[in-house]
Structure 1
Amino acid sequence: MTLSVLEGFTKSLAMTVLSEVGDYTFCVAAILAMRNPRRPVFAGCMTSSVVMTILSVLVGWATPNLISHKWAHHTTTLLFFVFGILSLWEGYTEDGDENELEEVEEKLLKAELKGNRGGKAKGSSKTDEDSKKEKRPFLTNFFSPIFLKAFSLTFFGEWGDKSQLATIGLAADENPIGVVLGGIIGQALCCMVAVIGGKSLASRISEKVVSLVSGILFLVFGVQSFISTAETT
C-alpha cells in the first residue's frame, strides 16, 4: 500500500467512524435490528453505505477534472475548517436534552403507524395478502422488505449529510482508492456495532463529545491540508 493510499485510507476511516457513530443512520440500523432479523438489516444498511461511499468518491475524483486541482484543494481545505467549526459549535451548544436515538425511533414509529393504518383501510384478509405478494415487483421478491427498508432509510439519510460532503472533499484531494477502502471499512464497523448492540450504545453515547471530537478531527485535517498547500507554493 503506497503512502498516498494509506493517507487517504486513514483519513477516510477516522472521519467515517467519528461522523457515523451515534448519527441518524447509526440509530436507524440499531432500531431496525432490535425489531427485525439482523442479517437483512446489516445487508441493507451496508449495501447502501457502500453505494453512497463509491458515488461520493466518484464525484470527488471527477471534481479536479472539472476545475483545477489547486481550487479543488482549496475548496477541500475550506470544507474541513467549516465542518470543524460547525461540529465544535454543535458540541458547545448541545444542551443534552435531545436524544438522536429517541428522535429516530419516534419517526420510525410514526411511519409504521401510518403504514398499518393504510393496510387496514385497504383490507388485510389472507386473500388480499396473497394477491399483493403475487403483484410485488421482482426486486421486492428477491430482496426482503426489511433489506429494502434498511437500504432506503440509510441511503436517503446519508444523502447530503456532512460525512458525504467530507468524503467528496477527501476524494478530490486524496487517493480515491484509499478513501473508498477507508470509508467502506469505517461504514462496516459502524453498521456492525449498530446492528449487534447499537441501541444500548447509542443511548449512552454523548452527542456533545462526539461533536467535539469530530470538530477537532476536521480542524486537524484542515490544518494539514493548509500546510500541504503552503509547502507546494
Structure 2
Amino acid sequence: MYAFLLSTAVIFVAELGDKSQLMAMTFATRYRARDVILAITAATAIVHLASVGIGYWIGTAFEEYQNWIAIGAGIAFLVFGAWTLRGDELTEEEASKARKATGTALLAVGTAFFLAELGDKTMLATITLATQEGWFGTWIGSTVGMVAADALAIGVGAVLGRKLPEKTIKIGAAVLFFLFGLILIAEGLGWIG
C-alpha cells in the first residue's frame, strides 16, 4: 500500500506541466474525453509495467539507452506534427463515423502516449521507485497518478475544443508536437538537461 500511495503522489506531481499532460489536453480537443482517458490508461499501464520490470530486475542499467529513446521519440513527434499540419480530408459521412469510432482515437492517442512516455521523467521516476518499493504497488500507483493528472488536462482540453476553431486547434497541436519533438531530440543529444 505504501508503494501505491507513494508512486501515485510522486507521478501525479511529476506529470503536472509535463508534455504528455499537454498532449492529453490537445487530444481532448479532437476526440471524446472517454476515448482519450482509455487510451492514456492503456498506454500508461503498458509503459509503467515495463518501467517497474526494468526497475525491479535491471535497476539503473536503463539509463545508458535513455538518449537513443529520447531521440527516437523526438523524431516520432516531428512526424506527428507534420501529419497534424497536413491534415486529412473527411466527407461528412466519414467524419460522423470517425466521431463514433472508438478504435481510431484509442490507436492514435495510445500510440502517441506510448512513444511520449518512453524515456520520460515519469517513466524514469517509476523505474526509480520500483528499485526501492514493491513493483505491483508502484505500477498501479504510477498509472493512477499519471491518469489523474492527465484527466485534469483532458477536462480543460474538452472545454477549449468547443470554443476554438478547428484550424487553430490543428496548428496548436502541430506546434506542440514539433516543440516536444525538438525538446526530446535536444535532451537525447545532451544539449539540455
TM-score, scaled relative to structure 1: 0.51
How far is 1:188 from its partner?
2.3
1:33-89 Cα shifts (integer Å, max 9, x gaps): 1122111111111110111111101111112xxxxxxxx5xx69xx9xxxxxxxxxx
Matches of 1:194 and 1:157 in 2, distance apart?
16
TM-score, scaled relative to structure 2: 0.61
Aligned-residue identity in percent: 27
Q: 1:160 aligns with which of 119, 131, 138?
A: 119
Structure 2, unmatched stretches of 5+, are: 64-76, 95-100, 161-193
Structure 1, unmatched stretches of 5+, are: 64-71, 80-103, 130-141, 202-233
Matches of 2:42 and 2:91 in 1, distance apart?
34
Q: Which residue of 1 aligns with 2:5?
A: 10
Q: 1:44 aligns with which of 36, 39, 46?
A: 39
Q: Which residue of 2 aligns with 1:25?
A: 20
How far is 1:149 from its partner?
0.9
> Secondary structure of the equivalent of 1:35?
coil
- Matches of residues 1-233 of structure 1 in structure 2 within 5 Å? 5-6=1-2, 8-63=3-58, 110-116=82-88, 144-198=103-157
Matches of 1:195 and 1:112 in 2, distance apart?
19
Matches of 1:198 and 1:176 in 2, distance apart?
32
8 A Cα contact 2:11 2:145, kept in partner = yes
Matches of 2:86 and 2:25 in 1, distance apart?
21
User: Which structure is larger by alpha-carbon Rg, 1 or 2?
Assistant: 1
> Secondary structure of the equivalent of 1:144?
helix
Matches of 2:111 and 2:127 in 1, distance apart?
21
Q: Are the structure 2 counterparts of residues 184 and 125 from structure 1 closer, same or farther at C-alpha, using a change threshold of 3 Å?
A: closer
1:85-121 Cα shifts (integer Å, max 9, x gaps): xxxxxxxxxxxxxxxxxxx9x99664322243xx6xx
8 A Cα contact 1:9 1:178, kept in partner = yes
